Structure 1
């Protein structure tokens, strides 16, 4: 083998090892606390930052210069002043160039911006993740940006956003920490460093990757079957974990036997996920879908185009308009749940950097289920008969909006969106 061929082989081995490291793993002995709304999340986050002794790492899509943003900013400044290493990642489009950022370098806060322009070196993608790790001991993952709960694009909301995050302690925190670390390095050098993630296999390990994958699957199944609470951190990117979050949803929906509760603000998934929901309803699973409204007008017109096949299969659909539904959550059979940043649309499932936490047999799932059912009660149910009687003009607008969205996403995802 030539020297060039040898280098390629070693590189391929490293990448394959890394690929299997990146696939999500379930761990036990974690502490999970469900946080509902920004009120609970900011109180918990600021308390942890104020107690930090070594490090704080924060990644968010939106960081606003409002009351909530100032409170988090003040906590970060206090931590940096104590000698804590503070790092913040914000998105180049989701977050404006805030005046508070100007004081960060002098205060010792390190700040990096992901993809500063609409089309940058990372293409069209955004970091839509909402993550934090304090002292490598406490981690956060969810859908809550650093923004006031009652503000939305300059308008006052009647009630706080409907949104969630989780506070985590235990082995899963290391996975969140590694994800932020990789993102931090990637922004700096413009690509993912080969040494930024530990591969599952050492260079001298001769065991097959297939065997490694089977061992991980067996370990996951043992945790689930034993009824032991376990947690997995599931992230997607445009390099290796392209469909990680979508596959997590598909696996849970495919195994559902009794109930699927799903709440999401932007429901425009591809055919696989829609078919999975249809098949579940047809085999007798009670499927309830709660969809957010009144944030993006185009989606308000486009999403109802998908209702026909879902309603015919028996899926119960409700549109939530009490306030801004921003939570991206689901519960299946009362023993599987997910909380995170990923919408169920082409941008989240195919383009953006996203992160969810998957919970199995955890006691916090009961509280999440209760919250989703509460949203169902507050939402407007879509009646199939009334839906079928929509005027031709409304049907036409819905079709045009859906078709336009689909074409645009096909282009942006280079044909990946189906």
Structure 2
């Protein structure tokens, strides 16, 4: 990789940023970085699925280790469920180490369920971070986990965004990963009681992987990867990075065991709130899960009162994958609309004409991105949702970028997501009822007076769940 050439053109205290806006580019970037790595690869993910995308990346990681690259993979136990015997076989490689964050001792069945109930206080804290670091020179962070849906290869597509970065933020990333890796809450996979009758060795696994990649080479998705210019641009050092200053926010790993001992000032959500409070003109937020609570509602009220335009994009009831979260959010919709906050909710199948999917058939969509556009100079991409779980329970990560160019790109992406054929715009009627407005693919106006594209049962269940006193846990 010609990373040093790009770095040499800028001051050492600066960072370069490049948004990975679509699933294909996000996958191509990861695959290219793995194939180009020469020293080390550090990966930290909440979800690392045993599906097509996961298997392709694992195969590339094994190939990298075979040519001498050190691999460290840290996954969350509840998000990833490390039960696949392939994991143990991979860990036998002298250059591959796999650890599991805050594991449940029971790997499956009733034992696992009982332990989750008996140790809820500990197990409730999950590692929601997404971080990818190659050779200590480039990082990727953002909202995407490792699974087909995050890379436009599933029946449900997650609208998301990552940022690739180099320069001054890399030492921060290396320190954050090491802090998590070396913490006692991260347990080597060999210390877990994985029950397996699998007796494959590494050579047999290499043969299986080779056959899998040969089959995968014939698919539409892989063909699209070959045609992607991004992979070649990464190798050639030709990525058009936007330069500025960056700060990588991350919860300390100790949050999973001793949250009460950590000052709130150390939490990324708290730091982000302070920055938001200093907005002067515009604040644009995309959040998969948005439960502002009393504190957030007051914050947005104060900003609107100070003349700041507040725009929010979140999931609709039809696109939300967690009904109880939508029920909690729905309690605040009318109040926010009365304050003058502009709210959009993602449509279940947005912008079919404007988005290319790399699998057969049409997809439904759910918003998974967590982005902030703050005035004209700040942008934020990370794993932090605006809910109590992100702020108080899980560990999170995100990159704050001081760059007008990135700010404009994130704002343009927000505009794309809230376009009339992609999202419902909410407003209040003269009688104080919510009205949803959008456009179909032919540009015709669509109006609804109840949660669009939902059944009576879905709406009733959402209303019922909204009364549960569990807001601090979701």
Per the shorter chain, which TM-score range? 0.7 to 0.9
Q: Which residue of 2 aligns with 1:327?
A: 369
Structure 1, unpaired ranges of 5+: 1-26, 191-227
1:85 and 2:70 correspond: yes
For residue 183 of structure 2, the aligned residue among 168, 181, 186 is: 186
CA distance in 2, matches of 1:150, 1:176: 22
Q: Deviations along 1:318-366, whole A, 9 cap, x unmatched?
A: 1102311100111011211110111111111101110010111242221
Corresponding residue for residue 416 of structure 2: 374
Per the alignment, residue 312 of structure 1 pairs with 338
TM-score (norm 1): 0.75
Distance 1:312 1:120, change over 3 A: closer
Does 1:339 pair with 2:378?
A: no
> For the structure 1 residues 36 and 189, does the alpha-carbon distance in structure 2 shift closer, same or farther, using more than 3 Å as the test?
closer
| Greater displacement, 232-241 / 253-262 | 232-241
**What SS class does the counterpart of residue 268 from structure 2 fall into?**
helix
Q: Is the 8 A contact 1:252 1:336 kept in 2?
A: no
| Counterpart for residue 209 of structure 1 | none
What is the count of residue pairs matched by the alignment? 344
What's the TM-score, normalizing by structure 2? Answer: 0.67
Q: Does 1:272 align with 2:295?
A: yes
Cα separation, partners in 2 of 1:315 and 1:188, compared to 1, 3 Å: closer
Is 1:168 the counterpart of 2:210 in the alignment? no
- SS at 2:163's partner residue? strand
Q: Give 1:331-410 correspondences, 5 Å limit.
A: 331-377=373-419, 378-385=422-429, 388-389=432-433, 400-404=464-468, 407-410=469-472
Residue 75 in 1 paired to residue 60 in 2?
yes
Secondary structure of 1:88's partner?
strand
1:98 aligns with 2:124: no
Structure 2: how far apart are the matches of 1:403 and 1:28?
50
Confirm or deny: 8 A CA contact 1:112 1:187 kept in the other structure.
no
Q: Aligned to 1:285, which of 305, 308, 311? A: 308
Counterpart of 2:138 in structure 1 is 138
After superposing the two structures, state which structure 1 stretch, 126-135 or 111-120, moved more. Answer: 111-120
Please give the residue correspondences for 1:6-21 in structure 2 after superposition, counting only pairs within 5 Å: none
Tell me the distance in 1 between the aligned counterparts of 2:103 and 2:178.
19
Residue 234 of structure 1 pairs with residue 249 of structure 2: yes
| Distance in 2, Cα, partners of 1:261 & 1:101 | 41
Mapped to 2, the partners of 1:403 and 1:85 lie a distance apart of 50
Structure 2: runs of 5 or more not aligned = 1-11, 105-115, 188-242, 351-364, 435-448, 451-455
